[in-house]
Chain A
């Protein structure tokens, strides 16, 4: 009983190693740097720690990011749904997990993704892309401009 409690505590400590901020877990290891870039974590001054190639039953190899003093808006965090659909967020205040969140694929995606169609105007002039999400599993994005559908395998980040 005591050993189990200790193990639990240890685990919790590991996750709560930041005082205030957000822990993003269950990121596919190969999407870590894309997630960092989409959330703009490469451009902020806050303390960030990350681990990658950690064991995960579900993902094979996962990554985890801990950002101090940053709390994301839902619209912001949902941007990573395309590349880390199973990501889970722990909101940390005073070393405690005060809230858990999962990402949700939004109905509309602005920017972030390139249209797969080389003849699309968005690939030929400086235009912010815009897609209607017409499928969530697997993901299918319909371009507002050329009306072609970009499938999950065809998704490329800007």
Chain B
């Protein structure tokens, strides 16, 4: 039997596989309803609630004609009765054809994939990985810029704890000539390990504490939320909280091709006056998630 394919971490896939998935995502955007999962059962296991991700996945599965079993939160899973992850996965992998799982513990998806006979897609494992988010971010960049090469990518906000920016950095560093601009308060800077990764690959990056003056160079602005809980000293938070808020006025001199991405949910880091601007792309980005997830499911299950 051929080795089963899983998607657990963004670095599990090669550049060729990224491009293949993005190509498939474009096909699904053209024609979202394809009965490729007809007669198949997908287990959607959310050991931690995440309505947004779950609905996106379940929409993708429905559009592919598959059926869904599973649970939306840990209270309705057997985990609350003390069943181990090992046993839940063993059982489910005897019932279904694919597992989509979200879990609060880091590394849970990789462990599940080892236990499972059927493919596993990681829909988020704690602060570790959320690879389908990264692929939908890449699809959004590809769609709006026409390429993943030569992108000047601004990452703004909490760059220390934000798993989405870490994975996107890893994935985009596989493409030609990216430039990274990191804009974060001193306590939430991009961790050294990731900067070191860029240095080793000879990729240019710049670190800033604010971005109003440099914003005109951006092709993509990837916004994340600066959370108050990340600050030991509330005064420090008060000092920086408004620095990382994007408003419509700031977009005046930005490039025509520039687009704003955000993994959502947004709190206040993008003013609502930006929403009407054609450069606001975050709601489209969420819509792209369905096509990207259809593509990922097709890829791991060899449906196309």
A interface residue numbers (CB < 8 A to B): 117, 119-122, 124-127, 143-149
Distance in angstroms between the alpha carbons of A149 and B128 in the assembled complex: 12
B9 part of interface (Cβ distance < 8 Å): yes
For B105, list chain A residues within 8 Å (CB).
119-121, 124
Give A126 to B86 CA distance when docked, in angstroms.
Answer: 9
A121-B85, A147-B9, A147-B128 as given contacts; A127 in contact with B111, CB under 8 Å = yes
| Other 7 A-B pairs with CB < 8 A, given A119-B106, A119-B127, A125-B111 | A125-B84, A144-B110, A145-B108, A145-B111, A146-B107, A147-B9, A148-B128
Q: B86: which A residues are within 8 A, CB to CB?
A: 125-126
- Closest residue of chain A to B110 (Cβ to Cβ) is A145
Please, which residues of chain B bring their CB within 8 A of the CB of A126? 84, 86
What's the nearest-Cβ distance from chain A to residue B38, in Å?
Answer: 34
- Determine which residue in B85, B107, B110, B127 has the highest number of CB atoms from chain A within 10 A of its CB, and name it: B107
Q: Which residues of B contact A146 (CB under 8 A)?
A: 106-107, 125-126, 128
Q: Which residues of B contact A144 (CB under 8 A)?
A: 107, 110
In angstroms, Cα B103 to Cα A117, docked, is: 16
Residues of A within 8 Å of B85, CB to CB, are 121, 125
B129 to chain A: closest CB distance in Å? 7
Can you show 11 pairs from A to B with CB atoms below 8 A apart?
A117-B106, A119-B126, A119-B127, A121-B103, A126-B84, A127-B111, A143-B107, A146-B125, A146-B126, A147-B9, A147-B106
Chain A contacts for B39, CB-based, 8 A = none
Residues of A within 8 A of B103 (CB): 121
Look across to chain A and name the residue whose beta carbon is closest to the beta carbon of B127.
A119
- Per-position 1/0 for B168-209, Cβ under 8 A of A: 000000000000000000000000010000000000000000
Determine the distance from Cα of A127 to Cα of B84 in the docked complex, in whole angstroms: 11
Contact of A147 among B84, B104, B111, B129 (CB under 8 A): B129
The 8 closest A-B pairs by CB, nearest first: A145-B107, A146-B106, A146-B107, A121-B107, A121-B105, A121-B108, A121-B111, A119-B106
- Of all chain B residues, which has the CB nearest A144? B110
CA–CA, A144 and B105, complex, Å: 14
Expressed in whole angstroms, the minimum distance between the Cβ of A113 and any Cβ of chain B is: 15
A62 → chain B closest CB, angstroms:
35
Query: Which of B9, B84, B106 is close to A120, meaning CB atoms less than 8 Å apart?
Result: B106
Q: How far is the CA of A124 from the CA of B110 in the complex (A)?
A: 14
Chain B 131-146 near chain A by CB (<8 Å), digits 1 or 0: 0000000000000000
- Within the complex, the shortest CB–CB distance from B85 to chain A, in Å, comes to 6
Closest to A129 in B: B107
Shortest Cβ distance from residue B91 to the other chain A in the assembled complex, whole angstroms: 15
Q: How far is the CB of A2 from chain B (nearest CB, A)?
A: 59
Closest Cβ–Cβ distance, residue B214 to chain A (whole Å): 31
Distance of A140 Cα from B31 Cα, bound (Å): 47
A158 to B162, CA, bound (A): 30
Instruction: Report Cα–Cα, A125/B110, bound state, in Å.
Output: 13
B212 to chain A, nearest CB (A): 35
Which residues of B have CB within 8 Å of A117? 106
Tell me the complex Cα distance, A117–B128, Å.
Answer: 11
Whole-angstrom CA separation of A3 from B52 in the bound complex: 83
Instruction: Name the distance in Å between A104's Cβ and chain B's nearest Cβ.
Output: 25
Contact B107 A122 (CB under 8 A): yes
Q: Within the assembled complex, what's the spacing in Å between the Cα atoms of A127 and B86?
A: 9
Within the complex, the shortest CB–CB distance from A4 to chain B, in Å, comes to 52
